[in-house]
Structure 1
Amino acid sequence: MWPTRSLSSLFFLSLALGSPVSQTEKRYAILDNDWGAVSFLPFLIALKNDVQVLGLVSDTANSWQRQCAYHALANLEVGNLSCIPVYAGATYPLINTPERFQAWESVHGKLPWEGAFALENATAEALGNDPTSGDPNRIVKPAFIEGFPTTKINHSTSAANFMVEMVHKYPHQVSIYSVGALTNVALAVRMDSDFASLAKELVIMGGYVDVNMYQVTGDYLQADINSDINLMVDPEAAKIALNAEFPEIVIAGNVANQVQSTQEYLDEVYTVKNEYTKLFHDHYGTEFPFWDETAAALMVDRSLATNTTTAYIDVDISYGSPNYGNIHVYQAMLKPPGVRNITYVNRIDGKPEWISIHFLHQRQYHSLNSSTYTVNKPSPTFLNKYICFARISSCFGFTLGQELS
């Protein structure tokens, strides 16, 4: 199994425990994910590090995109961050379907984690599992341990078109963060030939290399951890996105398995009581690595990567291949035509010193015209006196200033 370390050595360094990453220019991000019940850490990492989150986008990977979009809404509501819009992504991959995926498995063997393409299981859904197969538009309410949302998806445009609009509005400043299937990114690439080149970067979680032996020498959970469902849900989209003309593509693949939580750490986080830390403590668990959070930390602070490789990459889109949806990497002298270079992160590290979760404390904000807004009332959804606001002028008309004493 990949070496693991306490979460405190990584994402709370960049999330809530250290100072925001120093920026010389304004940074924006669009976060594309198969959002779940405790998926709030990526946008909190971005917000804490002075990255303006333009919107959250849903995709189909672990579950259907509509269920994931509702989870995104609910995660934002927990922190009174519903000013951040949520856009519905593509419901289906470019080609793949549950039936097609299951037919592939009948030839090449089952995956330990099948995501949205697992057989429909009404019993599991009644117990709180997100929906798989069946009607892609159904909502399974028992899965919303974070609370069922009262806010609505923004249907003013599609997720892909929203991405295109934002990179044109903020050229070379928008990070595209995608830690589910790459369907929406591929659609945006095909919709607008300038989309990729106008973005700042593409940061993904997925794209494991040489993990087959890990899948057979460990237990079922280890096989699960080392299966590449994000790319395998939509291999064709992954091929399009990972060969597009982004200024930089950063892949958190194997490295995302290095960062693991422990019960001791969950307890440590919960020394500060609020709705986010309660959800994190009670429901995040210790079974799985911090996949999405690793990619988010790399997006806000690339210096956390202590070992990287520049390689050329391609995605196997041969339906008859046992490696359908997996990546292959090449050195420059041996690469096939039509592939591009990427930054593959091999190792990530961080400073272990952290103080306490202070990102939810009452803060003072300064508007763009230098007027000061002091927020005195605590959020009714939070325990104690902690409050969390996005650094998004479109929401509140202010930007982050100094923390109140």
Structure 2
Amino acid sequence: MTDSSSPHPRRRVILEDDIDGFTPAQLLLLQSPDIDVLGISAVSGNIWRDEVLAHTCRLLELAGHPQIPVLPGPVHPLLNSELATERWEALYGKLVWKGAWTKHWVDGDTVQSAPRYHAHDVVPDLALGNPSVVRACDEPAALFMLRMVRQYPGEVSIIATGPLTNLALAQSLDPAFATLARELVYMGGSLNPRQQRNSISAQQFAREFVNSPRREFNIRWDPEAASIVMRAPWRQITMVPVDPSTATELTPDLLARMSAADTTIGHALRRREPGFPMWDELATAVWLRPDLVTHTETLYVDTSTAFDAGYGDILSWAPGYQPGLGEQAQTVVHAVDVQAFEQLLIDRLTAPQPPAVGLPLPLLPPGEGARRADEGAIAGGLAAPVE
């Protein structure tokens, strides 16, 4: 954990994620000296849990934070499965993105690549080197979260940028979990997004929400977990859906500015592939800097768990119109100050960092082409979606 002995108490946070590479969302927290990252929990989603653990451990080595615990979550969703998803697709049509269950893109002209399909217990070698110093803890993520919120009641924020399985387990184990936490900020869900960028990548990412505006991968991977978490009595819930992310993109220019520092973080970021909406980074930034948000709305939110065409879709109601069966009011982020958001990324990611540990990273000069940070990817254009 980061040092919290300073005279001004640091904001305590646990990050729940399914990262598949060296991603700026985690670095925003690690590069913020006023933040105490209590731990990072791994959950299956974009890739399988064990692969997420490896990427997280390696990221902490390169970012110079080997002391932060990495906690394993469950391998599978609570109820959903690959077979159930295939059955659903046979009834209702193809999903654009299925995370670890993705075998190939439906559209052959998709410029993004998908991670190589493999069994849940396979961990491909990482392009940035395998972790050699940081190891995942034995303690399950849900138990770690429960321990932290009881150790620091009312002080621990949770940022979830992957499926909500770990949080649902923690809430099921201890119904006081949500009330003991300070707040939940999650990247997930979709209301009525409108594409605001004109790049090929942006247009292709819009394929899903143009046809299914209430569907988003993090929620769709484990709808039952999402519903449990959304109905829990949190003190504060902030939802960062797909909607505001359509105004953001990891362009080559932004990536070059983010990776300009002659640090291990800078050299590692030069291997990122540009072209993605900044889903996870938005959620982290909204928690770090609430002043970035320019438009919010209060809605009561739940997830459809009926195994029909809307399985995993977001349900929402204006106050007073909700069924009143446990739905909780959420602050829904609709828009952010994109210029200020990008500047926050540049400032934090180019700042000095602690010494890296583990295997040395081969250096790249500024401006040398970005590369895929996961060698397990199928040959193609950009990296797989990271929500």
Per the shorter chain, which TM-score range?
A: 0.7 to 0.9
Deviations 1:197-236 (A, max 9, x none): 010111110111124999xxx8543225775110000000
Deviations 1:105-152 (A, max 9, x none): 11111111111122389xxxxxx96454x52111122xx222211135
Verify: 1:37 aligned to 2:26, yes or no: no
Match of 2:316 in 1: 329
| Alignment partner of 2:58 out of 63, 70, 74 | 74
Query: Contact between 1:26 and 1:173, CA under 8 Å: does it hold in 2?
Result: no
Unmatched segments (≥5 aa) in structure 1: 1-22, 122-127, 364-376, 385-405
Change (3 A) 1:266 1:68: same
Unmatched segments (≥5 aa) in structure 2: 1-6, 106-112, 197-201, 365-387
Match of 1:260 in 2: 249
Query: Contact between 1:272 and 1:357, CA under 8 Å: does it hold in 2?
Result: no
Give the TM-score normalised by the residue count of structure 1.
0.75
**What is the CA-CA distance between 1:157 and the residue it aligns to?**
1.4
Verify: 1:53 aligned to 2:44, yes or no: no
Deviations 1:335-368 (A, max 9, x none): 11221100000111153767856764378xxxxx
- Which whole-Å CA distance do the structure 2 matches of 1:263 and 1:329 have between them? 36
Secondary structure of residue in 1 paired with 2:57: helix
**What is the CA-CA distance between 1:45 and the residue it aligns to?**
3.0
Match of 2:102 in 1: 118
- Which whole-Å CA distance do the structure 1 matches of 2:224 and 2:52 have between them? 21
Q: Which runs of 4+ in 1 moved over 6 A?
A: 352-355, 377-380
Match of 1:309 in 2: 297
Verify: 1:283 aligned to 2:272, yes or no: yes
Secondary structure of residue in 1 paired with 2:270: helix
Structure of larger gyration radius: 1
Query: Contact between 2:22 and 2:59, CA under 8 Å: does it hold in 1?
Result: yes
- Which whole-Å CA distance do the structure 2 matches of 1:290 and 1:100 have between them? 29
RMSD: 2.9
- Which whole-Å CA distance do the structure 2 matches of 1:243 and 1:151 have between them? 39
Query: Contact between 1:46 and 1:300, CA under 8 Å: does it hold in 2?
Result: no
| Alignment partner of 1:274 out of 249, 263, 268 | 263
Letter matched to residue 313 of structure 1: V
Query: Contact between 1:205 and 1:256, CA under 8 Å: does it hold in 2?
Result: no
Percent of aligned positions with the same letter in both sequences? 28
Letter matched to residue 149 of structure 1: P
Letter matched to residue 173 of structure 1: E
Letter matched to residue 162 of structure 1: F
- Which whole-Å CA distance do the structure 2 matches of 1:357 and 1:317 have between them? 39
Query: Contact between 2:168 and 2:225, CA under 8 Å: does it hold in 1?
Result: yes
- Which whole-Å CA distance do the structure 2 matches of 1:163 and 1:131 have between them? 31
Match of 1:205 in 2: 187
Give the TM-score normalised by the residue count of structure 2.
0.79
Deviations 1:349-400 (A, max 9, x none): 153767856764378xxxxxxxxxxxxx88794779xxxxxxxxxxxxxxxx
- Which whole-Å CA distance do the structure 2 matches of 1:225 and 1:46 have between them? 32
**What is the CA-CA distance between 1:29 and the residue it aligns to?**
0.7
| Alignment partner of 1:180 out of 162, 177, 199 | 162
- Which whole-Å CA distance do the structure 2 matches of 1:136 and 1:362 have between them? 33
Match of 1:388 in 2: none
- Which whole-Å CA distance do the structure 2 matches of 1:98 and 1:114 have between them? 9
Change (3 A) 1:336 1:268: same
Letter matched to residue 275 of structure 1: T
Query: Contact between 1:67 and 1:139, CA under 8 Å: does it hold in 2?
Result: yes
Query: Contact between 2:141 and 2:166, CA under 8 Å: does it hold in 1?
Result: yes
Letter matched to residue 157 of structure 2: S
The aligned runs of 1:339-378 (5 Å cut-off) are 339-349=327-337, 351=340, 360-361=351-352
Query: Contact between 2:14 and 2:38, CA under 8 Å: does it hold in 1?
Result: yes
Letter matched to residue 61 of structure 1: G
How many pairs does the alignment contain?
Answer: 335
